[in-house]
Structure 1
Amino acid sequence: MKSFVRTAGLAMVALAAVSLSGAAAWAGMGQPSEWQIGLQGAATPVMESIHSFNTFLLTIISAIVLFVTVLLSIVIVRFNEKANPVPSKTTHNTLIEVVWTVVPVMILVAIAIPSFRLLHLELHTPEPDMTVKVTGHQWYWSYEYPDNGGFSFDSLMVGEKDLKPGQPRLLTVDNEVIVPVNKTVRVYVTSADVIHSFAVPSFGVKIDAIPGRLNESWFKATKEGVYYGQCSELCGRDHAFMPLAVRVVSQQDFDAWVGQAKQKYSDVPVIAPAQLADAGGVR
């Protein structure tokens, strides 16, 4: 019986170890990866905290499963009809009743403390270095840089036939969001039509874009690279085709891009109402 319990315990420990290591080993950075079973790699302090909290919860869950499995194994072996023909008639045990009340409460408190700490980290925006305004449309995103000249641009998904080698399908966009590395970016999110959701898994950012409301989030990317996300709200027919891409670059490259973006996105000719009427645009 002892060998059976020992074997069951070792099996559960091995399962927990595989689960804990697999979450880190089989998860990509910035985009989904093949055979991924865990969270995407962390590129911000918030996502690093989410990773730590996830590992903490997985450890607790694995320990509970292991404990319950050992108890069930003992019950199966020691208290079946063959091994124990005369069953116990015990109906009350004060110690056990106190333990099964106090221990779950202690576990919940242990989970609540880091949970509230993480929630505060996500919701409390530190002093930002720059701001990006995000607007969801059916079915694409628009971005505005109010701290860098106020230019704005639309970002649409690149079709599969137009993809270049190395560009991920259903995630590549024509105009990426560009931000500098190690800078706190405040994100204002709203919608022009229906409810969307701005989400970048490697940043630990997911916030709804609601018409008539301005929601706020933030991130501080600590690694250069391209990080993909998608609309995470069922927003209509082309919901699956409005990805977003954030490229994190050095401050020097960001400054150079801003200079180019001001010319590219700000030199849009303003069409007067009279011209619209002549063109048939106003009726």
Structure 2
Amino acid sequence: MAHPSQLGFQDAASPVMEELLHFHDHALMIVFLISTLVLYIIVAMVTTKLSNKYILDSQGIEILWTVLPAVILFLIALPSLRILYLMDEINNPHLTVKALGHQWYWSYEYTDYQDLSFDSYMIPTQDLTPGQFRLLEVDHRMVIPMNSPVRVLISSDDVLHSWAVPTMGVKMDAVPGRLNQATFIAARPGVYYGQCSEICGANHSFMPIVVEAVPLIHFENWLSLMLEDA
């Protein structure tokens, strides 16, 4: 969960998000080195006439300016492609949940179990209890087992929405008439918050997403209660 004056990303709760954080730090260091080099060259050109001779008329510098960007792109592309393939990899998920966006709430359907579906509405401010977060808490959370691959099928019933949970490293558009999918693994138990990331109308900011990761035994107990109620 984000906190006031936070610098950087939220703590990763899935292996994919951990990889994304590492890639961010990797790319940021490359940008820092490039900025430092360019700043040094600018200062040298402005302050020293001797440097202008070597910087502007040097064949070695021209070769460096040609080869160096190619090497930098190579250093960025390899980890980037690795993470992209990792995010698209879906092998035998233990649980499949269909998330359907509406104006302005989400509905969830556990496709592996018959008759298990529910709507998830934001809790109004006046109905919040102590400890709940304003504009983020919902009446029915999406409950998943931790340390299990979860596939989320995402679509929309009306307009464009986007199902996003930053701590899980998941952000997928919900497009009417199209079924997108995302996968993640909750590495630890907890409650993780997200919001619709697509401007979908007047109440766009009032359709939060809450994912609760619990141990398998607690998930089975929750599942039994939900199936009995259904």
The answer to whether the superposition gives a TM-score over 0.5 is yes
* Matched residue SS, 1:174: coil
1:171 alignment partner, one of 129, 132, 136? 136
Cα pair 1:171 1:228 within 8 Å, conserved: yes
Tell me the equivalent position of 1:36.
6
Tell me the equivalent position of 1:56.
26
Residues 167-216 of structure 1: per-residue CA shift (max 9 Å, x gap): 11110001001001100001100111001000000000000111111101
Could you tell me the percent identity over the aligned residues? Answer: 45
C-alpha distance in 2, partners of 1:66/1:257? 54
2:146 alignment partner, one of 181, 184, 187? 181
- The answer to which structure, 1 or 2, has the higher relative contact order (CA under 8 A, 6+ apart) is 2
Q: Is 1:78–2:48 an aligned residue pair? A: yes
Q: Specify the code of the residue in structure 2 equivalent to 1:213.
A: R
Tell me the equivalent position of 2:214.
249
Cα pair 2:55 2:61 within 8 Å, conserved: no
Per-residue deviation, 1:90 = 8.5
Tell me the equivalent position of 2:193.
228
Q: Which runs of 5+ in 1 are unaligned?
A: 1-30, 267-283
C-alpha distance in 2, partners of 1:45/1:91? 47
C-alpha distance in 1, partners of 2:21/2:91? 21
Per-residue deviation, 1:69 = 2.1
Per-residue deviation, 1:161 = 1.1
1:130 alignment partner, one of 92, 95, 99? 95
Residues 126-156 of structure 1: per-residue CA shift (max 9 Å, x gap): 2201100000000000001111334100001
* Matched residue SS, 1:122: helix
TM-score normalised by structure 2 residue count: 0.95
Tell me the equivalent position of 1:117.
82
Residues 13-67 of structure 1: per-residue CA shift (max 9 Å, x gap): xxxxxxxxxxxxxxxxxx3221123111111111011011001001111111122
Tell me the equivalent position of 2:38.
68
TM-score normalised by structure 1 residue count: 0.77
* Matched residue SS, 2:12: coil
Alignment RMSD:
1.6
Tell me the equivalent position of 1:217.
182
Per-residue deviation, 1:228 = 0.3
Cα pair 2:136 2:210 within 8 Å, conserved: yes
C-alpha distance in 2, partners of 1:202/1:261? 26
Tell me the equivalent position of 1:12.
none
Q: Specify the code of the residue in structure 1 equivalent to 2:29.
A: T
Instruction: Work out the number of aligned pairs and report it.
Output: 229
2:120 alignment partner, one of 136, 144, 155? 155
Tell me the equivalent position of 1:239.
204
Tell me the equivalent position of 1:10.
none
Per-residue deviation, 1:91 = 5.8
Task: Give the number of the structure whose alpha-carbon radius of gyration is greater.
Answer: 1
* Matched residue SS, 2:194: strand
Give the 3 Å change call, closer, same or farther, for CA 76–212 of structure 1 in structure 2: same
Q: Specify the code of the residue in structure 2 equivalent to 1:68.
A: V
Per-residue deviation, 1:70 = 2.3
